[in-house]
Amino acid sequence: MTPLEQIISNDIRTNGPMTVSQYMAMCLFHPNHGYYTQSTVFGRGGDFITAPEISQMFGELVGLALAQAWIDAGQPSPSTLLELGPGRGTLMADILRATKRIPGFHAAITITLCEASPKLRDIQQQTLVGYDVTWITDLTQLDDAPLFCVANEFFDALPIRQFQRDGSHWHERTVGLQQDALCFGLSKSPTDLPQLMARLNDTSQGDIVEICQQAVTICDQIGQVINAQGGLALIFDYGDWRSLGETLQAVQNHAYCDPLQTPGQADITAQVDFEALAQATPSAYSRVTPQGVWLERLGITARAQTLARGLSGDALDHHIQAHRRLTHPDEMGTLFKVMALFPKTAKHPVGFEP
Ligand code: SAH
């Protein structure tokens, strides 16, 4: 039994079953035993690998897209360059390297990282040594300035609530105990939130719907700044338009595992409901676009060919594999999507032209 499993079990014995959201929050952010609070490695040597850790090309193209939006907005200074949930800081390092030669961009931006884990903040500081970086934990701390923002696999880490339909009511899914082992259950009394009642039209008996309130709040906050001050947010994640079904997933050592096993030692995520994000933002939003399509539109193949010229042997093989992994429909190309938030008065950002 992991130390966190002991803590969660005791909590359930005292207070009764907890919501899936409370369980997920404890697994990821318990102050001493949470996955992100204690985890100092993810990436190649850790439990899962993300797009920026696969290849520098991902961050380079994100950087150029954000800088293009800054140029299109009239090169506002000061502007905020924000990353939500920066992990090891690799994506921000690639963004900054790729945009170094864009006249005036680095001088105009305040580099801001929103990170909840003190340990990951230390790693980001090491990755970004030499840059002047501001860390925040809450978006109310954002400057009142045009906002150029990226989030990669951030929204999937925010705790979700799950509800199961029974007739015309919804019961919240919980985590309880059965013979001292963690198990899923359902709350006895219904929780008929307005968002759930609206889903009676497109669901059937027994269906599960997921709601991520924190994602809604964050999208509203960044969308407000972008709409009022200008800017762009690029949100990359796995998921689709409108959540249906149970999508909670745990990964340990690059393999799926039971989300109720080894709490605190596996990464727990859920698919992102891009429709909920679009409804939450007061700004304009783009179509939800497959990551592979967006990267191709930004010219990843030309960039891959340029980088390939300097490589041979294993390094070249890895590079070709990385290109495929980021873009191919059988890999991350279709499963992962990107959606942009931009001012209602601005044209569509690069890669999202209608
Ligand atoms: N973007 C990185 C890491 C993704 S993992 C990459 O692509 O490699 C999720 C990241 O979000 C971690 O850095 C985690 O600590 C952070 N995070 C999760 N929930 C958060 C919250 N509520 N506030 C700030 N950071 C959060």
Does some domain include residue 322? yes
Which residues make beta-bridge pairs with 148? 81, 232
Pocket test residue of 27, 30, 36 for ligand 1, highest count of atoms within 8 A of CB: 36
Instruction: Write the DSSP symbol of residue 92.
Output: H
Q: Using a 6 Å cutoff on CB, does residue 91 contact ligand 1?
A: yes
Query: What is the structure's pLDDT at 163?
Result: 98
Which residue's structure tokens are 């800054």? 70
Establish if 305 belongs to a structural domain: yes
Closest CA to ligand 1's atom 3: 87
pLDDT in tens, 66-109: 999 999 999 999 999 999 999 999 999 999 999 999 999 999 99
Three state DSSP letters for 214-272 = HHHHHHHHHHHHHHHHCEEEEEEEEEECCCCCCCCEEEECCEEECCCCCCCCCEEECCE
Taking CA atoms, 151 is separated from 14, 85, 86, 215, 329, in Å, by: 37, 7, 8, 12, 21
Question: 114 CB less than 6 Å from ligand 1?
Answer: yes
Question: Measured from the CB, is residue 117 less than 6 Å from ligand 1?
Answer: yes
Q: Model confidence over 287-316: pLDDT tens digits?
A: 999 999 999 999 999 999 999 999 999 999
Q: Within a domain: residue 165? A: no
Structural domains of the chain, count: 1
Q: What is the CATH number of the domain that holds 44?
A: 3.40.50.150
Q: Which atom of ligand 1 is nearest to the CA of 43?
A: 8
- pLDDT tens, residue by residue, 199-223: 999 999 999 999 999 999 999 999 9
Among 269, 305, 285, 301, smallest CA distance to 152 is for 269
Ligand 1 close to Cβ of residue 36 (< 6 A): yes
Question: Cα(169) to centroid of ligand 1, in Å?
Answer: 34
* Residue 286 falls inside a structural domain: yes
> Is the separation of the CB atoms in 247 and 210 below 8 Å?
yes
Alpha-carbon distance of 222 to 210, in angstroms, equals 22
What are the Cα distances from residue 164, in Å, to 79, 185, 200, 210?
Answer: 43, 10, 11, 9
- Whether 347 maps to a domain, the answer reads no
Which residues lie below 8 Å from residue 226, measured CB to CB, with a gap of 6+?
Answer: 146, 147, 149, 232, 233, 281, 283, 341, 342, 343
Q: Does residue 110 lie within any of the structural domains?
A: yes
Which residue segment(s) compose the domain that 141 sits in? 36-159+212-245+264-342
Q: C-alpha distances in angstroms, 90 versus 53, 188, 262, 315?
A: 7, 45, 28, 19
State if residue 152 touches ligand 1 by the CB under 6 angstroms criterion.
Answer: yes
Question: Relative to the CA of 218, which ligand 1 atom is closest?
Answer: 22
Closest to 226 measured CA to CA, from 141, 275, 274, 284? 284
